[in-house]
Amino acid sequence: QTDINSVLKNLGIQEVSQAFSTGSTWGGTGSLGTLDSYSPADGRKIATVQLADQEDYHTVISQAQTAFSYWRDIPAPKRGDIVRQLGDALRHHKQDLGTLVSYEMGKSLQEGLGEVQEMIDICDFAVGLSRQLYGLTMHSERPHHRMYEQWHPLGIAGIISAFNFPVAVWSWNAALALVCGNVCVWKPSSKTALCAIACQQILAGVLKKNEMPEGISSLLISEEFIGDLMSNDKSIPLVSFTGSTRVGRIVSTAVGSRFGKSILELGGNNTIIISKEADLDMSVIGAVFGAVGTAGQRCTSTRRLIIHEDIYEDFKNRLVKAYGQLRIGDPLDQNNHVGPLIDQQAVAMYIKAIEKGKAEGAKFIVEGGALSGEGYTSGCYVKPCVAEVENHYKIVQEETFAPILYLIKYKTLEEAIKLQNAVPQGLSSAIMTLNLREAELFLSAAGSDCGIANVNIGTSGAEIGGAFGGEKETGGGRESGSDAWKGYMRRQTNTINYADTLPLAQGIKFNL
Ligand code: NAD
C-alpha cells in the first residue's frame, strides 16, 4: 500500500499550494480561487492549488526578464553543472516523483518511474551539451576576413505542457533551455498541477543551493488563459507547446503572428505495419504495449495496425488472446497492465469515439466500455478495445486519446505505406519485418512520412538521445536529443575584417 501522504510530504507539496513560483518564492493574489487535484486511480482529492491570475503572470514575467540578464552571463558549462545537480536531485526523488506521476496522472508506476528516468537522462545529456554548443567557422571570400557563427540564448522560454507526460516534457525543455542560457516559465496542464509543483520545488532547491536569483525557473498554475497570454506575449521569444493539434494551431498562430519562435509537439496517429515476414510474437507485444500503455494516452500510442492479408487472421487471433489477459486497475498495483484515463471527460470522449466508429462501420473484435464497481469507483477506467476498420473512416483519421486500436488489412508494402501516411498526423511509425528490403523501403524517402520511424520495435517509448517530434499536424517541432538544442537559441553570423581596407562582398566597388 503506497502512503501518498508521505510522498507528498517528501516532495514538499502542501495541502494548499500558492499559484506561482519564481524559484524559492511562492505567491498569488488568490483572485481566481483554487483548483482541486483528484486522482483518477481512486477518485480521491490529493491537494488544492490556487490559480494564477493576470497580475501573477506579470510578476513572474518581470522576474524572469531580470533573471535572464544574470543567467545568460553564467558560462554554459557552469549552467550545465547546475543541470547536473538537478539530475542528481531527481535521482534522489525518483521513487516519490514517479509515484506521484502514477497517482495524479494514472499511468502505471513503472511508467511513472520511467518518466523520471527520462528526466535524469535528459539532464545528463544537457550537461555534456553545455560544453558542445558549437557554431561553425567559414572561409570568407574576402582577404583578411574571418567568418563564423555563434549561438546565443533567446531569453524567456515559455513551456506549455500536456497532462500525459506531466514531468518529462518539462525537463526535456527546461534542461536544454537552461544550458542554452534561457530562463523558463512553465504553464503545466492544470490536470497534473501537483507533479509540476514537485518538479519546481526540486529545481528551486538546486538553484537556491547555488545562490542563484529568483526567476531562472518559474511556474504558473492556472487555466488556459495563461497559455493564451504566453502565446501573445512579445517578451517570450520562444513558446514550446506540447498538447493537442487543436490548441497547437491556436498557439502557433498567435506566436507566428508576432514572429516569435515555437516548438510544436502535437497529436499523433501512429501505426505499426505488420509484415507477413514479421516475428509475430514480438509484434504482438509491441502492438499491445503500444496501444494500451498509459491507457492509450501517449502521443506515440499505437492507434492503427496495418497487417498483411496472409497473416491477418492469425495475428488478429493472437491479439484478441493477448487483450483477454490484460489486467485493468490501480496503476500503483504492479500486477495491473492498464490504469485509468485522466478524467471522466476523457471516458466520455472514448465512448463517443466508439459510437462514431460503429456508425461508420467499425467491427469491434474486442469490445470496449467504461468499467464500474469495486476498484473502478473513480469512474475513469475503460476497457482497451480493438476494431476492424477502413483507413478513411473519419474516426480513424482522428487521434482519440484512449486505448482504441484499429486493424486494417494490406496486400503490398507500397499500399501499406500509403495507408499509414494517409492521415493528417505524422509522429511515430514502425514496421515489423525480418526482411531487409521491406525495412529499408519503409525508412526511405518513399517510406514513412513521420518524424519517428522504427523497425522491429513499436511506436511508443522514445529514447532522449534522438530528436523527438513529428511532421504535418504533429507540428514539426523537435525536442530532446540530436541538435534539438538549436531550437532554444538564436544563430548569429559574424564577419570580422582585420585588413586595412574595406573590400565589399561580391567584388562590388564603392569609391568615395
Ligand atoms: P491540450 O491541448 O488540451 O492542453 C495542452 C496544454 O495547453 C495545457 O497546458 C492546456 O492548459 C493548454 N491550453 C489549453 N488551451 C490553450 C490556449 N488556448 N492557449 C494556450 N494554451 C492552452 O492537450 P492535453 O489533453 O493536455 O494532452 C493531450 C494531447 O497532447 C494529445 O493530443 C497528445 O498527442 C499531445 N501530446 C503530444 C506530445 C508530443 O510530443 N507530440 C507529447 C505529449 C502529448
- Would you say the C-alpha torsion 168, 170, 175, 180 has a positive or negative sign? positive
**355 has catalytic annotation:** no
Mean pLDDT within 257-274: 98
Mean pLDDT within 453-473: 96
Q: What is the pLDDT of residue 512?
A: 87
Residue with the smallest CA separation from ligand 1 atom 16 is 224
pTM of the entire structure? 0.98
Average pLDDT over the chain, rounded to whole? Answer: 97
Mean pLDDT within 1-7: 89
Q: Rounded to the nearest whole angstrom, what is the distance from the C-alpha of residue 231 to the centroid of ligand 1?
A: 13
Catalytic one of 104, 265, 399, 473: 265
Which protein residues touch ligand 1 with a CB less than 6 Å away?
Answer: 160-165, 187, 189-190, 224, 227-228, 231, 242-244, 247, 250-251, 265-268, 299, 399, 401, 427, 474
Q: What is the pLDDT of residue 1?
A: 65
407-449 pLDDT, tens digit each? 999 999 999 999 999 999 999 999 999 999 999 999 999 999 9
20-59 pLDDT, tens digit each? 999 999 999 999 999 999 999 999 999 999 999 999 999 9
Q: What is the pLDDT of residue 461?
A: 82
- Residue 191 alpha carbon, nearest atom of ligand 1: 26
CA dist 128 and 150 (Å) reads 18
Residue with the smallest CA separation from ligand 1 atom 43 is 299
**Of the residues 169, 186, 224, 231, which should be mutated to test ligand 1's pocket, given the most ligand atoms within 8 Å of the CB?**
224
Inform me whether the pLDDT recorded for 250 exceeds 90: yes
Q: Rounded to the nearest whole angstrom, what is the distance from the C-alpha of residue 41 to the centroid of ligand 1?
A: 21
The residues that bridge with 272 in the sheet, in sequence order, are 305, 430
Mean pLDDT within 76-103: 98
Q: Rounded to the nearest whole angstrom, what is the distance from the C-alpha of residue 229 to the centroid of ligand 1?
A: 15
CA dist 352 and 374 (Å) reads 24
- Would you say the C-alpha torsion 498, 502, 507, 508 has a positive or negative sign? positive
Q: Rounded to the nearest whole angstrom, what is the distance from the C-alpha of residue 325 to the centroid of ligand 1?
A: 32
H-assigned helices in 245-371:
245-257, 280-292, 312-324, 344-360
Inform me whether the pLDDT recorded for 264 exceeds 90: yes
162-179 pLDDT, tens digit each? 999 999 999 999 999 999
267-290 pLDDT, tens digit each? 999 999 999 999 999 999 999 999
3-class SS at 304? strand
Number of H helices, E strands in the chain: 14, 26
Nearest alpha carbon to residue 387 among 409, 369, 405: 405
Q: What is the pLDDT of residue 130?
A: 98
- Residue 187 alpha carbon, nearest atom of ligand 1: 9
Share of the chain above pLDDT 70, in %: 100
**Of the residues 219, 236, 257, 266, which should be mutated to test ligand 1's pocket, given the most ligand atoms within 8 Å of the CB?**
266
**Of the residues 242, 245, 429, 460, which should be mutated to test ligand 1's pocket, given the most ligand atoms within 8 Å of the CB?**
242
Question: What is the pLDDT confidence band of residue 253, given thresholds at 50, 70 and 90?
Answer: very high
Q: Rounded to the nearest whole angstrom, what is the distance from the C-alpha of residue 298 to the centroid of ligand 1?
A: 12
| Buried/exposed code over 460-476 (b: 16+ C-beta within 10 A; e: otherwise) | bbbebeebbbbbbbbbb
